[in-house]
Amino acid sequence: MSDRATADDEASRNNVAQLPEADDAPDVEAYETEGGVVLYDADNPLAWLKASNAVALVESR
């Protein structure tokens, strides 16, 4: 008798769905200020935007 939750032949099979492999997400860093949170690209820290409210990009044209 086995005290395992699965039989020995089932233990060798992996029936669990796996996440697909993907490229690494870009590095985004953040820091807090008195006025809110600043998010920036860690690879290009000078590329940042500042806004007092959320604006859709289509509205800014």
Domain count, the chain: 1
Residue 54, pLDDT > 80, answer: no
Query: 51's torsion region: left (phi>0), alpha (psi -120 to 50) or beta?
Result: beta
> CA separation (Å) from 38 to 48, 52, 54?
8, 11, 13
| Average pLDDT taken over every residue of the chain | 71
Q: How far from the centroid of its chain's Cα atoms is residue 4's Cα?
A: 35
Domain membership of residue 43 (yes or no) is: yes
User: Which one-letter DSSP state was computed for residue 11?
Assistant: H
**Listed range (33-37, 41-45, 57-61) with the worst mean pLDDT:** 57-61
At 21 the pLDDT is 78
Please give the average per-residue pLDDT across 3-20, as a whole number.
65
Give a yes or no: residue 34 inside a domain.
Answer: yes
Question: What is the pLDDT at residue 59?
Answer: 53
Domain that holds residue 45: 25-61
Q: Contact 50/34 with Cβ under 8 angstroms?
A: no
